[in-house]
Structure 1
Amino acid sequence: MSETISKLLLKGETLLQDSPDHLLQVIGVLESYGEVLDAYSINLIDQGQRQFLNPFPMFRFCNGQISFNRLYRHLLGDRINFEYAEYCQKAMFWHSTGGLDVYFNSDEFLSICKEVIEYKSQEDTLVKLLNPMFKEFLPELIRSSATTHLLGVFWRVMSDLFVDLGRKYRDGTINNIKEVVAFIRTCLVAAAGKTVSYKVEISGRSFDILPATANLNFLVDVAVPYVEAVFLRGMPFLGTVSFNAQAQQISPDQSQFKYGALYADPLPTMGAGIPPSLLMQDMYRHLPQDLYDWYKYHGRGEADMKMQICISFQKAMFCVTNGAIAGTFPYPLSTTVQEEQTANQAYAKAWAGRLAEARIDTLPNLKGREFNSLRLA
């Protein structure tokens, strides 16, 4: 299977075979995902500002708009489930891959943290008490806030991308899965060189937590770590594996984790982690009518619609991953230089090895392709 995936990537073909049903599912779930990511992005960026250095952010999901009616609806669950956004942020923060983590451990960043904490301590008694007692706690909060902000920025780009993708599908510009993958690739490449930064204001004074001079890049330092942490690694979720060390169901090596969205079983746990059932609930509330109608007559209709959304979501995420891989090959796939071809082959092989263990059963024709290639050989 790994070899088949590698060949498809090197040929520039899609992992998900084109069909009207596949196209409807991918476009529909990405449209609804785009609407949900809009809310996630607004909240995370707001948290990065309003909840900065707040050890107890009880109202972090309210975007500063606190009212009895809002809190009542929040408790009833009549809201976007920001817990999933928080799960993704914690996964990125915990796995800490890419240039962002390197910068977090630099002397420059530690110096910024020290300056910010000292200034904040002048007006915040709690921060002033915590700093000498727990030396690593407040810098850790700043790192977490920076990750929160950057995830919000990333999702801002992806929300606009997915909404625009749906618009192009409905006006007839995009008509097949290959065009979906190409559109995602083009948009990611266009945003690839964008420099990301993070600035906060404390009592009228501005602090560059992640200054532009840190040269943090949208694609390499935010998008790729997001794919690594959320699509691939994830975090073991209570109720799906044993946390008993003697059972050895969880690897002590985080790089070997396979709990991300591409590995998730479509089980209705209604949790934030694997499978991301809370995200499916949010997407259910924003489904376009044509996909909602399609689900009604497939599977068990309303009874398992959220599970069907999860399956469609994985198909869509394979397309997003497909586009990301296509946009990050070391060299153009058309190259005739042997060394460059070898580098591309190694890149495709590395990705194929990881994707082969994911939920490729959501790609119903991939096994068929492998069978046919073996038979023809």
Structure 2
Amino acid sequence: MNMTIAPKTVKPSHPLIEIIHQMQAGGALLPDSPENVIEVVGILKSYGIVLDAYWRNLTYISEHQFLELFPFFKYFNGEVSLNKLLKHWGHDRINYEFAEYCMKAMMYHGGGKLDAYLDTSEFRERAQQAIAAKLKGNFLMQGLSNLFPEFLPEQIRQLAYYSALGQFWNVMSAMFLSLSDRYDQGEIKTIPDVVAHVLAELVKAANQPITYTVKIGDQDYEIIPKSAGLTFLMDTGVPYIEAVFFRSFPFMGTISYNAQACQISPDPSRFNYGALYADPLPIGGAGIPPTLLMQDMRHYLPDYLHQIYRRSPRGEEDLRVLICVSFQKSMFCVTTAAILGLMPYPIDTADLDQQQTNQVYLEAWLDRLIDSRLPSLQACDM
């Protein structure tokens, strides 16, 4: 009797299986090399300086521009002068618009308990108390508020994101600057060292409360009280990575927003326009939001990184593109730290069931990164 034995079904390897093995062996999404270490640490030093300016301005807007419908001087942090105004008009300044771009991405995509809290009756009650205090004696604005009852609460929701992102970036700025200090002292030598530093700082700040209070007259109004239970990592860190690293928005001028063109998915969960996916080549072009960030970072590059860029084939001509590539490398290090921090079990567990659970977890993350810049960065040298 002839019997045909069906072959065993073998699960195909994950397309990025080598990167998974790289992480399981103690590595990171980004390969470890001296060049990558210099780029990542150098660009994060510059980014840390820029973030320090960003978070201070976001906090200023949330606390001192509360329900100001025409905040002409919101980027001045309360220090308005002719000299500063001339620099502002001449674009000799930090581009705070990019900070707002990231804030709007977080607000649009939502996620975490912050998003859920802003839809609660508690938030609405606290917002109405602040609105009543702010509009006291302003009959025109009171009439506007009565005519459009959702307008001002929505403005406060947005201001809550200003504050939350400011608090998140406050921690991240200090984290990146301390990384640079440790590198200068010889403590950071490899990409896993970078990831370990970021992971340790994320864990340290994980349960830091996210709150938001505004002062109107002589009274403080808690918009997000500590009792809301919002924390740094799960309620700002994870939503930030989701909204800014992964999803974000399509760059205007490169993709049509015309619904008939069907170039943008109507499902926001399918957006892959974040920092980990962006093509560095358009960076520097008009209308591309990350251009603002790259322009800001170019002013604070450490000399050792700037020298590397100057030795590139085009020198200073495509500096923003080179900065973008380095920045993406650094963000894959931050993403590695986030993945490890949220992993179900320790990466070096000896338990087979736990290893299998970790394997499934890593494959799910790498599934989302297949179309990102990750594969091209694996063998990308300056």
Q: Please, what TM-score do these two structures have when normalized by structure 1?
A: 0.93
Superposed, 1:1-377 pairs within 5 Å as 1-266=15-280, 267-270=282-285, 273=288, 276-365=290-379
> After superposition, what is the alpha-carbon deviation per residue over 1:238-295, rounded to whole angstroms, capped at 9, x for unaligned?
1111112222110001111011111111113445755x11100100000001111110
Amino acid at match of 2:127: C
Q: Contact between 1:131 and 1:137, CA under 8 Å: does it hold in 2?
A: yes
Equivalent-residue separation in structure 1 for 2:192 and 2:287 (angstroms):
31
* DSSP-derived class of the 2:308 partner: helix
Structure 2 runs not aligned, ≥5 long: 1-14
Amino acid at match of 1:75: W
* DSSP-derived class of the 2:260 partner: coil
Equivalent-residue separation in structure 1 for 2:140 and 2:110 (angstroms):
28
Pair 1:206–1:123, CA change in 2 (3 A) = farther
Pair 1:128–1:27, CA change in 2 (3 A) = same
Structure 1 runs not aligned, ≥5 long: 367-377
Equivalent-residue separation in structure 1 for 2:313 and 2:139 (angstroms):
57
Q: Which has the larger radius of gyration?
A: 2
> After superposition, what is the alpha-carbon deviation per residue over 1:105-154, rounded to whole angstroms, capped at 9, x for unaligned?
11111111122212222144453132111111111111111100110111
Pair 1:34–1:303, CA change in 2 (3 A) = same
| Deviation of the 1:347 alpha carbon | 2.1
| Deviation of the 1:16 alpha carbon | 1.3
Amino acid at match of 1:313: F
* DSSP-derived class of the 1:21 partner: helix
Q: Contact between 1:34 and 1:160, CA under 8 Å: does it hold in 2?
A: yes
Pair 1:122–1:65, CA change in 2 (3 A) = same
Pair 1:33–1:125, CA change in 2 (3 A) = farther
| Deviation of the 1:14 alpha carbon | 1.2
Equivalent-residue separation in structure 1 for 2:242 and 2:320 (angstroms):
25
Amino acid at match of 2:283: P
- Aligned twin of 2:6: none
Pair 1:48–1:272, CA change in 2 (3 A) = farther
* DSSP-derived class of the 2:223 partner: strand
Equivalent-residue separation in structure 2 for 1:338 and 1:126 (angstroms):
67
Equivalent-residue separation in structure 2 for 1:281 and 1:117 (angstroms):
37
Q: Contact between 1:43 and 1:61, CA under 8 Å: does it hold in 2?
A: yes
**Greater Cα shift, 302-311 or 1-10:** 1-10
Instruction: Report the count of equivalent residues.
Output: 365
**Greater Cα shift, 76-85 or 243-252:** 243-252
Equivalent-residue separation in structure 2 for 1:203 and 1:331 (angstroms):
50
* DSSP-derived class of the 2:258 partner: coil
**Greater Cα shift, 259-268 or 327-336:** 327-336
Equivalent-residue separation in structure 1 for 2:372 and 2:139 (angstroms):
49
Aligned-residue Cα RMSD (Å) equals 1.6
Pair 1:271–1:64, CA change in 2 (3 A) = farther
Q: Contact between 1:314 and 1:362, CA under 8 Å: does it hold in 2?
A: no
| Deviation of the 1:42 alpha carbon | 0.7
Q: Contact between 1:12 and 1:326, CA under 8 Å: does it hold in 2?
A: no
Pair 1:196–1:38, CA change in 2 (3 A) = same
